[in-house]
Structure 1
Amino acid sequence: MGAVEDPSIALPSDPRRLDDLGDQPRVVIIGGGPGGYEAALTAARHGADVLLIEERGLGGAAVLTDVVPSKTLIATAEVLDQVSTSEDLGIRDADDLSHPTAQSLTVDLAAVNARVRELAAAQSADIHRSLDEAGVQVIDGRGRLLGPDEVEVLDAAGQQIARCRAEVVLLAVGARPRELETAACDGERILNWTQLYGLPTLPEHLIVVGSGVTGAEFASAYRALGSEVTLVSSRDQVLPGTDADAAEVLENAFTRRGVTVRSRSRAAAARRTEDGVVVTLTDGTEIVGSHALMALGGIPRTVDLGLEAAGVRVKDSGHIDTDRVSRTSVRGIYAAGDCTGVYPLASVAAMQGRIAMHHALGDAVSPLIAAQVSSAIFTSPEIAVVGVSEEDVRSGAAQGEVMVLGLETNPRAKMQGMREGFVKLIVRPGSHTVIGAVVVAARASELILPYALAVTHRLTAEQVAGTLTVYPSITGSLAEVARRQALTLED
């Protein structure tokens, strides 16, 4: 999964100005992830001359080492997870009626990971074709600011191979995995989230350090694939910052599936042994496993980007400071994606990139509204949220009424053997406008859309309740909780 080759602009052997090669690029984008390539396509559609610089492959981490690979792996795990409960649906192994089918299946992780890499490469190639068809010039190299309106391109050795001026610059350089100095990732036994897809065999016992979104997703997936999993969480509950009821459902699901959760524990170090790893906690406890995944969040790739030379303001965390239309502190320079620290979501990065180009090229633009951002956690069951949270209501940060409806009475959930899940709706008192929602269920990432539309377009609980749904369906519960909410508010 290296960098995408065959860049659409040829570079001279000696450093020259790119404007010597043709028309001066008006928009220069550093980084080819969702924020970068969506911005490039948007700018090209507006008739701008666009140059995109990317050193690790088009699609960035989202396509090559993060979102696409992890969700492909999780899709495989979902199949096994569904089959594992097939006995409840009356499905038996043809050769042995005493065992459900899932226990007769094995995972060829090398084949799974090969498919993961193939899909990531194919998606990257699709992006390259889209950019080429739009007339975007693509350079394989590392971009760096030389000033407010000048960019240089460096090769792998750090040598300048080209430079150019630009009227507009977008920085979309992403983030890299955070690691502990006492737990150096070697890509074999101690891994970060970019290194999992080279494993030839399934880990016998995977120790996941970190109980945020990445840690929870991989703990869920690898347990479904058949690994023993221990999740080390520094908090009282997994998924800190997520809806507490949703986190509780997931913890219960972890317990039922055999995931060991070490709450209120923090990893101090990890070391390789002859045939595995040992993770040492801060209290001295040692956990022995075959592999360790360090899921400790990300660090923005803003070092040596030339931000100081250009005068771009950076936060103490290293993230680029932006406003709601993606502007930095320097006129003509914008930023999008994980390097801004707004939301670590590919969808948000893409929206930031599009907003930046619309603003820079003189279009009317709506700023990014945090309350309208929906997100999902791809565990089993999935968790999806949008808008105001119940914690916001409890803390007084927002005024709202909360209604929860479990899925245990939903007929489609019963048919599918779904054991956990609920829908939660938050509406504004008086107007009954939908301001937030949580869905915990299989495919919650798809089910959140009606509520995201409701939040974005300020629909009321009555309008959601009055929308016809298919019977039987999980979406029936989305309308039912709105119906109950509306009736409660009327009383």
Structure 2
Amino acid sequence: MSKFDFDLFVIGAGSGGVRAGRLAAQLGKKVGVAEESRPGGTCVVRGCVPKKFLVYGADFGGAIKDAQKYGWSLDNVSFDWTFLRDAIQTEVSRLSGIYSTILEKNGATLFNERAEFVDAHTVRLQTSGKEVTAKTILIATGGRPWMPDIEGIEHAIMSDDAFLLDELPARALIIGGGYIASEFAGIYAGLGVKTVQAYRGDRLLNGFDPDVRDETGVLQNLNGIETKFNISPTSIKKTSGGLIVTFDDGSKIGTDMVFMATGRKPHTVGLGLENAGVDVDKNGAVVVDEYSKSTAKNIYAVGDVTNRVNLTPVAIREGAAFIETVFKDNPTAYDHSNIASAVFTRPPIGVVGLTEGDARQKHGDDITVYTTKFRPMKNVLAHKEQRCFMKLITQGKDEVVIGIHIVGDDSPEIIQALGICVKAGLTKAQFDETCAVHPTLAEEIVTLKPREINKTTVVS
């Protein structure tokens, strides 16, 4: 009989933690899972899922306007924020319940309370005060939004709050240039809010391909979003007429809501990791090896809490690799290269592989760049200036495709299939041999012509 209460105890019931817990329980292991919020984690409860529903809501508003150019007559069109908000939360509750059911049906024990380390094999459940022991512990606590410590920060909201607003503001100021900031700017503008997006850098989406960054800025403006660059907020003041935000260049912006989308950090503060011998880096991320093992030999971590590739499907794959390694005697390190991802701006972005800057740093001039920019067929009759941008990067004489970047409608759906091609190491010739599906936006990826190569280094 085991001297421990559990074979595996998981702290955090997000996508990675639930996957690992379920798989371990299916192997007959005794599994405990603790979740301080609601099962489902950031993605289901306060991230990807409710956010994409909001994007759909904003897109429908644009589609209604476009429909008039296609012959539809529309009268008495209105938008009800509380209806959409509540419908989304109903679905979030349903999905969260499914996560709970998955664990319980497979024999895992779910504790709806926070767990903190007492030592390397013991955690204390904070609501009940109960202490439980486990042979192996998996940290899957994810990340949390971070806001700067400036005067009046209590008047700002963060992404966790954005789904539960009592009412939509007339004016919104989004602080940040990353994917969360850019997505929510598009959402609010699409729902009729006068939106300003302010960022400390000179272009949105730091880390993305420079052409993608440029195109995103253009599209934000076409969506009615006013973008301001190279400024950072220093204070927020509440007045009878709303909020006044002062920036480091002395400028001021009046608004009704300040949304701080200034980044996320691993959720490790107060977890008691020091009691278990688990090291964290300067950002608070759990330090792990290629097999997700921490500096404590029986403690592992997956997902955003490790700050490797912060995407829900990655956390799921890391959770599955952890099970192979620890419970199936099959050491498995998840391959984090060439992971396709999407940003749900309006229109969205789909990317996989290297940016042009990274490709030049890695391969010098031994690359070829293909680009195209065109107005999608759907936008012609709608008289919309919004265009689609595509970029394909190849390397070497054989022209192996090492990067694809798309800004345009349906790009997340397209990039999923193209991610297979990049992961498989296909060449431009194989793309060219593939017959186009006409008329589609996606057909352009197999008809691309080379751009004149710029020999200067491109910095992402």
TM-score, with normalisation over the residues of structure 1? Answer: 0.85
Q: Deviations over 1:174-211 (max 9, x none)?
A: 1221122325555xx62111112222322101000111
Q: Given the alignment of the two structures, is residue 431 of structure 1 paired with residue 398 of structure 2, yes or no?
A: yes
Shift of 1:427: 1.9
Structure 1 runs (4+) deviating above 6 angstroms are 415-418
Instruction: State the distance in 1 between where 2:353 and 2:332 align.
Output: 17
- 2:102 aligned residue (108, 119, 130): 130
Q: Given the alignment of the two structures, is residue 201 of structure 1 paired with residue 167 of structure 2, yes or no?
A: yes
Shift of 1:171: 0.2
Q: Look up the match of 2:146.
A: 178
Q: Is the 8 A contact 1:185 1:192 kept in 2?
A: no
- The number of aligned residues is 449
Instruction: State the distance in 1 between where 2:149 and 2:237 align.
Output: 11
Q: Is the 8 A contact 1:236 1:264 kept in 2?
A: yes
Q: Given the alignment of the two structures, is residue 317 of structure 1 paired with residue 297 of structure 2, yes or no?
A: no
Mapping 1:197-346, distance limit 5 Å:
197-346=163-312
Q: 1:42 to 1:283 in 2, by over 3 A?
A: same
What root-mean-square deviation, in Å, do the aligned CA atoms of Structure 1 and Structure 2 show?
2.4
What secondary structure sits across from 2:227 in the alignment? strand
Q: Is the 8 A contact 2:302 2:315 kept in 1?
A: yes
Instruction: State the distance in 1 between where 2:431 and 2:329 align.
Output: 33
What secondary structure sits across from 1:422 in the alignment? strand
What secondary structure sits across from 1:106 in the alignment? coil
Instruction: State the distance in 1 between where 2:319 and 2:289 align.
Output: 13
What secondary structure sits across from 1:247 in the alignment? helix
Q: Which amino acid aligns with 2:51?
A: S
Instruction: State the distance in 1 between where 2:26 and 2:431 align.
Output: 36
Shift of 1:411: 5.1
Q: Look up the match of 1:146.
A: 118
What secondary structure sits across from 2:130 in the alignment? strand
Q: Look up the match of 1:167.
A: 135
What secondary structure sits across from 2:320 in the alignment? helix
Mapping 1:371-450, distance limit 5 Å:
371-396=337-362, 400-408=367-375, 419-450=386-417
Q: Look up the match of 1:358.
A: 324
Taking every aligned residue pair, what percent have the same amino acid on both sides? 26
Shift of 1:354: 1.6
Shift of 1:305: 1.4
Instruction: State the distance in 2 between where 1:416 and 1:372 align.
Output: 36
Q: 1:459 to 1:201 in 2, by over 3 A?
A: same
Q: Given the alignment of the two structures, is residue 457 of structure 1 paired with residue 429 of structure 2, yes or no?
A: no
Shift of 1:474: 2.2
Q: Is the 8 A contact 1:149 1:167 kept in 2?
A: yes
Unaligned stretches of 5+ in structure 1? 1-18, 96-103
Q: Is the 8 A contact 1:412 1:473 kept in 2?
A: no
Q: Is the 8 A contact 2:363 2:395 kept in 1?
A: no
Instruction: State the distance in 2 between where 1:434 and 1:416 align.
Output: 34
Mapping 1:12-161, distance limit 5 Å:
24-87=5-68, 89-94=69-74, 105-155=77-127, 160-161=129-130
What secondary structure sits across from 1:406 in the alignment? strand
Q: 1:175 to 1:185 in 2, by over 3 A?
A: farther
Q: Is the 8 A contact 1:332 1:360 kept in 2?
A: no
Q: Is the 8 A contact 2:70 2:381 kept in 1?
A: no
Q: 1:296 to 1:397 in 2, by over 3 A?
A: farther
Q: Which amino acid aligns with 2:429?
A: E
Instruction: State the distance in 2 between where 1:251 and 1:222 align.
Output: 16
Instruction: State the distance in 2 between where 1:79 and 1:414 align.
Output: 18
Unaligned stretches of 5+ in structure 2? 454-460
Q: Which amino acid aligns with 1:342?
A: R
Instruction: State the distance in 2 between where 1:105 and 1:38 align.
Output: 43
Q: Which amino acid aligns with 1:78?
A: D
Instruction: State the distance in 2 between where 1:223 and 1:254 align.
Output: 9
Instruction: State the distance in 2 between where 1:246 and 1:124 align.
Output: 34
Instruction: State the distance in 1 between where 2:304 and 2:253 align.
Output: 32
Shift of 1:231: 0.6
Q: Which amino acid aligns with 1:174?
A: G
Q: Is the 8 A contact 2:66 2:382 kept in 1?
A: no
Shift of 1:335: 0.6
Q: 1:397 to 1:430 in 2, by over 3 A?
A: closer
Instruction: State the distance in 2 between where 1:49 and 1:433 align.
Output: 47
Instruction: State the distance in 2 between where 1:146 and 1:56 align.
Output: 21
